[in-house]
Amino acid sequence: MKNKTIIYAVGIYKGGGLQVLKEFIKLNKKYFYYFDSRLSRDHIKGIKNFKLVKQNLINIILTNLELKKENTNIFFLNGLPPLLSLPGNTFVMYQNLNIFPPTKFFNLILWLFSSDFLRFMLFKLGYKNVQKWFVLSEVAYKTLSIKLNNVKNIKKVLFFDILKIKKKINIKKKYDFIYPADLKKHKNHKNIILALLELSKENIKPSFLFTFTKREKEKINFLKLQKHLNIHNFKYSDNRINFFRKLRECKCLFFPSEHETIGLPIIEAHNNNLLIATSDEKYAKQFIEPNIVFDQNSVVSIKKTIKKIYLKKKIIMKRSKAKNFHSFLKKEQLLGFINE
């Protein structure tokens, strides 16, 4: 493994982290990769040098001891620093805001018994072992700056393409709304369902597309809800081609998440010319100006917004210009830092 840059991606196998990993692989397949054993083999085609690692604390420690022997640049793509100080340069792509303690007492109790608490402890144990941090958004930059009390070793990277929409593509729309997200608490599905149930009492039933797994559907009793609501499901299972096809069949991205690091579906919806309705939060406005915003904590606000869009009341379709990108590196420039 001598003289080869190492990319540590253990813990990444689905969701937004997987999209970052796939983009990274496109940049360079010649690095030596540590992959999570749960990662689909479809994502590592063409990579000759890699090792599969099972994600648990013992393996994390053993892998850190293994990396201790390597005097080369090591990039931790999973967002967490190494537990040990390594002989070469150590870089980290910080991605997940959820690891830090929430301010609300009830959420704090839940956090203490979650995997995010373990990741936070790993962060606290190893953050001083990092020479350079990279972040994918302004929100992540500000949060990490506070936690590290230092901005000098943090760089922002514009990692996902934001397209300039020249003309509208005419595709038959099958669904009024889409919300591509798993069933984590901060994703706020509960308030959407409550709002849709309230609208159904007025005989207003917009078609709403979700992306739940089979287990998530069972957890919220999806089939029972379907008897009262016009809801549908698409298990996109990280097949981005199929997902984008389905996305283009929707009129509006409805994104009520309480907090996000990037909010990638907002960029993807913009690139596919959907109407965009989001939480009235900073993360939702850092790349794309939404067409309409709402209070994600209010069922009434969510209900009114869905009703307004569904009944086609006047909404200003104005896209803002890209913001603050002058302070972001291009993703190709990231390789320069890693290889220097």
Chain centre distance of CA 257: 11
Identify whether the C-beta of residue 4 lies closer than 8 Å to the C-beta of residue 31: yes
- Tell me: do 228 and 279 sit in the same domain: yes
* Strand pairing report for 231-233 and 208-210: parallel
315 occurs within a structural domain: no
303 occurs within a structural domain: yes
Residue 102's pLDDT is 85
74 occurs within a structural domain: yes
319 occurs within a structural domain: no
169 occurs within a structural domain: no
- Tell me: do 199 and 289 sit in the same domain: yes
User: Which pLDDT tens digit goes with each residue over 145-202?
Assistant: 998 887 788 999 999 888 877 666 678 899 999 999 999 888 999 999 999 999 999 9
Residue 96's pLDDT is 83
Report the distance separating Cα 249 and Cα 308, nearest Å: 20
- Tell me: do 183 and 138 sit in the same domain: no
DSSP lists the bridge partners of residue 277 as: 254, 292
Residue 37's pLDDT is 95
Residue 327's pLDDT is 85
166 occurs within a structural domain: no
The H or E element that residue 264 is part of is helix 264-271
- Tell me: do 137 and 182 sit in the same domain: no
Residue 337's pLDDT is 82
- Tell me: do 103 and 201 sit in the same domain: no
- Tell me: do 122 and 11 sit in the same domain: yes
The stretches in the chain having pLDDT less than 50 are: none
Assign 145 to helix, strand or coil: helix
- Domain extent, residue 263, equals 175-310
Q: Helix H segments across 46-158?
A: 57-67, 105-112, 115-126, 138-148
321 occurs within a structural domain: no
The conformation of residue 251, written as its DSSP 8-state character, comes to E
Report the distance separating Cα 322 and Cα 310, nearest Å: 28
- Tell me: do 303 and 332 sit in the same domain: no
Burial class (CB within 10 angstroms; exposed 0-12, middle 13-18, buried 19+) of 104: exposed
- Tell me: do 147 and 213 sit in the same domain: no
Structural domain tally of the chain? 2
- Tell me: do 137 and 206 sit in the same domain: no
For position 90, which CATH number holds?
A: 3.40.50.2000
- Tell me: do 54 and 147 sit in the same domain: yes
User: Which pLDDT tens digit goes with each residue over 40-55?
Assistant: 998 998 899 999 999 9
- Spatial CB neighbours of 106, under 8 Å, sequence gap ≥ 6: none
